[in-house]
Structure 1
Amino acid sequence: MKDTHLIPLPNLCTHYQIEMSFFDGLSEYGLIEYISVEKTFCIHQDKIADVEKMIRLHKDLHLNFEGIDTVFNLLEKIDYLQSELNRTNNRLRRFEDD
């Protein structure tokens, strides 16, 4: 495997003690995308933090794929709203400084 930015899913299954079917389910719900490299499915290292969150949600809170999808959609909305709030605050500061 030449691309060092890709992590094989079998390694993640072993490391996190989770079945490959979990990743298949995440992929079916569009929560992750994996790439086939030399007949091995891999995920980009930038997505590992999200995968770890999904694994914790699944294991600790016993959420199914629908629940994980809902939580991630809500987190995405929260991030968007926080960035909107920051932009609005920055605009207000411009007027307050005058």
Structure 2
Amino acid sequence: METQFISISTICVNYHIESSFLMDLSNIGLIQIEIIEQEQYIHHDQIADLEKMIRLHDELDLNLEGIDVVFNLLAKQRELQKELTTLRNRLRLYE
């Protein structure tokens, strides 16, 4: 289990961020924080997205709502890309 989860305190130290930033991201649903034995953790699969959120916040000075909008647009773009691929595959059947 330890390899699947990374503690919030470790993330805060390594990325030089406040734990309140992570709590705010969790409150708006951008990341999911797990509590195991009274310690807060983030699953390692979320680290790539978390790094993007940190960069958006630090480098582009986006607030939490802006980060939420960006990630919602990226999700919509992935969804549309999948739909386009599906439609192209269906079209090839008729060619």
- Normalising by structure 2, what TM-score? 0.95
Mapped to 1, the partners of 2:15 and 2:34 lie a distance apart of 19
Tell me the percent identity: 52
1:92 aligns with 2:84: no
**Could you say which residue in structure 2 is the equivalent of 1:77?**
76
State the 1:88 CA deviation. 0.5
Show CA shifts across 1:7-58 (max 9, x none): 0011010111001010011011111111112222100011111111111111
Alignment match, 1:46: 45
| Mapped pair 1:29 → 2:28 | yes
Q: Which amino acid is 2:39 matched to? A: T
Distance 1:30 1:10 in 2: 20
Question: Which residue identity is paired with 2:26?
Answer: S
Give the 3-state SS of the residue equivalent to 2:3 in structure 1.
coil
- Which runs of no fewer than 5 residues in structure 2 stay unpaired? none
Aligned residue pair count:
95
CA distance in 2, matches of 1:28, 1:39: 18
Structure 1 gap segments, 5+ residues each: none
Shift of 1:94: 1.2
Partner of 1:59: 58
The residue type paired with residue 93 of structure 2 is R
